[in-house]
């Protein structure tokens, strides 16, 4: 299982879709990123990850995320939420040749059952936008958070021993409670769903690989807020 990898097209030479290049709503930088991704996908024995693209972006992380968001919001970049045989969640990305005008859905694919990248996808709805967050136990249950060792592994690398048991659930409950009780963030946090949580974890992991995090809990809180404010990973087909 590899988290955040790109799916390779069958063609082994770089093709850039004319509808993408002719799309006036898409920035030139986003078109450039699209072409760059397509070129990397033609390499043999090479798996492309978002982190690789970010690392090689000369404009820096903030500029990259802006371009990435532009491409994602255009519907040319699709994110697939996957689930392996052990129930672990990971992501795969796919570039489309043209926009797909379908309702946005939150989907989970079972990697152990999938036969091809375009196989049938299971869909479930766990959006919590209109639900109260006072009952944090219920919230965590609805988010289907099973991998409680996720942040244990992350924080242990940062030499923090505050999350030894049920760490992800505890951290989420504490973080969500703090955000919900704070009038400055109460309205924002009411939009949280499982995709925002996954995005926050991904942001935390990426940052940890690049620099030392002095206050992991506070940084995770910021990652979660950022994921919610940016709309999270909800461009799912």
Instruction: Give the domain ranges of the chain.
Output: 5-123, 136-229
Token pair for residue 209?
A: 């690989």
Q: What is the pLDDT of residues 71-123, one digit of tens each?
A: 888 888 888 878 777 777 777 888 888 776 544 444 444 443 333 333 323 22
What pLDDT is attached to residue 169? 57
**pTM score > 0.85 for this model?**
no
Q: What is the pLDDT of residues 50-65, one digit of tens each?
A: 888 888 888 888 888 8
Token pair for residue 69?
A: 């968001």
Distances (CA, A) of 45 to 6, 48, 50, 116, 132: 13, 10, 17, 19, 48
Residue 192 has pLDDT above 50, yes or no: yes
Q: Above pLDDT 90, what percent of the chain? A: 4
Tracing tokens 């760059």 back to the chain, one arrives at: 36
Compute the distance between CA of residue 28 and CA of residue 171 in angstroms, rounded to an integer: 40
Compute the distance between CA of residue 38 and CA of residue 169 in angstroms, rounded to an integer: 38
Gap between the terminal Cα atoms of the chain: 21
Q: Which fold has domain 5-123?
A: Arc Repressor Mutant, subunit A (1.10.10)
């Amino acid at each position: 299982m590899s988290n955040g990898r790109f799916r390779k097209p069958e063609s082994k030479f770089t093709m850039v879709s004319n509808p993408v290049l002719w799309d006036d709503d898409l920035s030139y930088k986003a078109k450039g990123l699209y072409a760059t991704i397509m070129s990397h996908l033609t390499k043999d024995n090479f798996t492309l990850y978002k982190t690789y693209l970010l690392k090689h972006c000369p404009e820096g992380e903030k500029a990259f995320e802006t371009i990435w968001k532009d491409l994602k919001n255009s519907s040319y970049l699709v994110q697939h939420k996957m689930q392996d045989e052990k129930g672990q969640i990971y992501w795969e990305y796919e570039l489309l040749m043209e926009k797909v005008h379908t309702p946005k859905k939150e989907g989970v694919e079972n990697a152990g059952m999938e036969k091809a990248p375009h196989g049938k996808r299971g869909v479930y709805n766990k959006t919590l936008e209109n639900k109260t967050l006072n009952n944090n136990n219920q919230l965590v249950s609805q988010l289907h958070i099973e991998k409680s060792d996720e942040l244990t592994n992350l924080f242990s690398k940062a030499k923090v021993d505050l999350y030894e048991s049920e760490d992800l659930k505890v951290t989420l409950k504490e973080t969500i409670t703090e955000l919900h009780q704070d009038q400055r963030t109460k309205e924002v946090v009411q939009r949280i769903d499982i995709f925002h949580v996954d995005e926050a974890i991904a942001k935390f992991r990426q940052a940890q690989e690049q620099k030392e995090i002095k206050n992991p809990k506070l940084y995770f809180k910021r990652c979660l807020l950022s994921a919610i404010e940016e709309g999270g990973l909800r461009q799912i087909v």
